[in-house]
Amino acid sequence: MRYLTSGESHGPKLITIIEGLPAGMPLTAEDINEQLARRQKGHGRGRRMQIETDTAEIGGGIRHGQTLGSPVSLIVENNDWKHWTKVMGQGPIDEEESSEIKRKISRPRPGHADLNGAIKYGHRDMRNVLERSSARETTVRVAAGAAAKKLLSLLGIKIASHVLEIGGVKADIQEYPSIDKIIELTEQSPVRCLDPVAEKKMMQAIDDAKTNGDSIGGIVEVIAEGMPVGVGSYVHYDRKLDAKLAGAIMSINAFKGVEIGIGFEAASKPGSEVHDEIIWDSIHGYTRKTNRLGGFEGGMTTGMPVIVKGVMKPIPTLYKPLNSVDIETKEPFAASIERSDSCAVPAAAVVAESAVAWELASAIVDQFYSDRFEGLLENVEKHRQYAREF
Ligand SMILES: Cc1cc2nc3c(=O)[nH]c(=O)nc-3n(C[C@H](O)[C@H](O)[C@H](O)COP(=O)(O)O)c2cc1C
Ligand SMILES: C=C(O[C@@H]1CC(C(=O)O)=C[C@@H](OP(=O)(O)O)[C@H]1O)C(=O)O
């Protein structure tokens, strides 16, 4: 499967075209909208999220609540567009227009895409860069991820995400609840955190950062349960599914690190405390006593829960801006201030969940291919039975 997205942050709309979903799979606008609404929540977001009520219009590929096998297109309108029709106008610029509309952004923000993007594409107005480098684009990535989540759920694969850390405040989770409980609890938490004590401290850390004109990052975790064993492959570097997941997490705006299972902790532990012992019973077949390797061995799923963490850096736009250089005058200046979030880690957890869902669904469609959803389901079930009896 593959998808592309188009659209600028303050342009008229965002669009994704998804190719490769099997025909006959139930999928509705409600399935997509539920996920879009989750991405909009979270303590620490700026005013933009009050302007938007992200909902998807289906442009094609679905009839009577089922996929047709043709490309699925999803369109999300930017409510904010009505405030930007002149600045983001698509026709040639009218010389009579006010200077505000022609005002160029020439002070790049350290940590954003502004300067590198301007040099790369030759834009003297860095609005031409920030409009597309903005994480507004993650709206339609979540829309594509919602289709992937639907496919996974119909195959009995559940996926959840939660926030482990914000601005140095760590969640203390002694024992993980069931995946259904994680889904339920994170929906009730303003920072998508499973530890109510840490939740309050995280909110305070976000408020403090905002008051100080600063921003903070954090760590999110995605968990997927019910993946069949042996998805992905060890035979080629580009077929390793753990590598694809790492790439997907790193592709999210502001993500700077990924771990699968215990990840970096493995460096300081002996093998006996890293590898998961193999056990067998007649109902489940082969499983592992522990899951420190996060559901992967040899680039393939083990059948244990897939566990992926991602590190998000603090948001680069600061109300107390860092020093930068004006590209017109070459003079040092404080960087431009664009309206901004002070922390978007809770929203980014939903984006990470979508990114992981997409890669898992894509790998399943590749490996158990059928043009029909029923055929895919049959192939996955046959494989599950084969693996249990192996
Ligand atoms: C959900 C989400 C919301 C974000 N909101 C902002 C924001 O309001 N202001 C900002 O400067 N960056 C924000 N970012 C981060 C930037 O988009 C990101 O830092 C930028 O695209 C540069 O990419 P890089 O950090 O991966 O190098 C956000 C990221 C995510 C995932
Ligand atoms: C619009 C979204 O996030 C935006 C991501 C973003 C950035 O630079 O990445 C900058 C801000 O844009 P604006 O200046 O319009 O407020 C965020 O609000 C969104 O998540 O839907």
Per-residue tokens: 247: 């790439």
Residue 339 confidence (pLDDT)? 77
Tell me the backbone φ, ψ of residue 75, rounded to 5 degrees. -125, 130
Domain layout of the chain by residue ranges: 2-389
- The dihedral through the CA atoms of 147, 151, 152, 156 has a sign that is positive
Confidence of residue 16 (pLDDT cuts 50, 70, 90): very high
Confidence of residue 288 (pLDDT cuts 50, 70, 90): very high
Distance from Cα 343 to the centre of ligand 1, integer Å: 10
| ipTM of model | 0.98
Nearest residue (CA) to ligand 2, atom 7: 134
Is the confidence at residue 294, as pLDDT, over 80?
Answer: yes
* 8 Å CB contact between 26 and 7: no
Confidence of residue 102 (pLDDT cuts 50, 70, 90): confident
Distance from Cα 234 to the centre of ligand 2, integer Å: 39
Is the confidence at residue 22, as pLDDT, over 90?
Answer: yes
CA distance 59 to 17: 9
Residue 194 confidence (pLDDT)? 98
CA distance 361 to 338: 36
Measured from the Cα of 39, ligand 1's closest atom is 1
DSSP E strand stretches across 183-254: 218-225
What number is the average pLDDT over the span 140-148? 98
Residue 173 confidence (pLDDT)? 97
CB of 215 closer than 6 A to ligand 1?
no
Residue 308 confidence (pLDDT)? 98
Confidence of residue 98 (pLDDT cuts 50, 70, 90): low
Is the confidence at residue 11, as pLDDT, over 70?
Answer: yes
Say which CATH class 2-389 falls into.
alpha beta
pLDDT in tens, 44-93: 998 999 999 999 999 999 999 999 999 999 999 999 999 999 999 988 88
The model carries a pTM of 0.97
Distance from Cα 318 to the centre of ligand 2, integer Å: 13
Q: Is 109 annotated as a binding residue?
A: no
CB of 161 closer than 6 A to ligand 1?
no
User: Which 8-state DSSP code applies to residue 247?
Assistant: H
Is the confidence at residue 32, as pLDDT, over 90?
Answer: yes
Q: Is 134 annotated as a binding residue?
A: yes
Task: Give the count of alpha carbons within 13 A of 313, CB side only.
Answer: 14
Give 215's contacts (C-beta < 8 A, 6+ positions apart): 209, 314, 315, 316, 317, 318, 340, 341, 342, 343
Nearest residue (CA) to ligand 1, atom 25: 254
Confidence of residue 338 (pLDDT cuts 50, 70, 90): low
Distance from Cα 135 to the centre of ligand 2, integer Å: 6
- What is the best residue among 136, 313, 315 to mutate for testing ligand 2's pocket, by most ligand atoms within 8 Å of CB? 136
In whole numbers, what is the pLDDT of the chain averaged over residues? 96
Distance from Cα 49 to the centre of ligand 2, integer Å: 8
- What is the best residue among 36, 112, 130, 134 to mutate for testing ligand 2's pocket, by most ligand atoms within 8 Å of CB? 134
